């Protein structure tokens, strides 16, 4: 069995029913200037129980494609957001 990727990020938007948009930040070294820079990517995460809210820090695990852009399921809410 292949290892499932896990991503951790902040819910920036509740995009429709049972879907959350999660912003994931990663830090990489710039190839020329050798400085740590932030890179961001948004993922659509399946939230079956509609339990996440904007601002929450969540952990999502990779799954089969659920729609064109949605390939992650919500695993747990790490921290509740300030709302």
Torsion from C-alpha of 13, 18, 19, 24, nearest 10 degrees: 80
What structural domains does the chain harbor? 6-79 (2.40.50.140)
Residue 37: C-alpha distances to residues 22, 27, 31, 80 (Å): 20, 6, 10, 26
Whether the predicted model's global pTM rises above the 0.85 cut: yes
> ∠ at Cα 19 (27, 25), nearest 5°?
5
pLDDT tens per residue, range 2-45: 788 999 999 999 988 999 999 999 999 999 999 999 999 999 99
Q: What is the pLDDT of residue 2?
A: 75
Q: Minimal CA–CA distance to 66: which of 16, 12, 19? A: 19
């Amino acid at each position: 069995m292949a290892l499932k990727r896990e991503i951790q990020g902040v819910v920036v938007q509740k995009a429709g029913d049972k879907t959350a948009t999660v912003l994931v930040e990663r830090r990489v070294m710039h190839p020329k200037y050798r400085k740590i820079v932030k890179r961001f990517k948004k993922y659509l995460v399946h939230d079956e129980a509609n339990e996440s809210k904007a601002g929450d820090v969540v952990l999502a695990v990779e799954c089969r494609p659920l729609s064109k852009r949605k390939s992650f399921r919500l695993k747990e809410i790490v921290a509740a957001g300030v709302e």
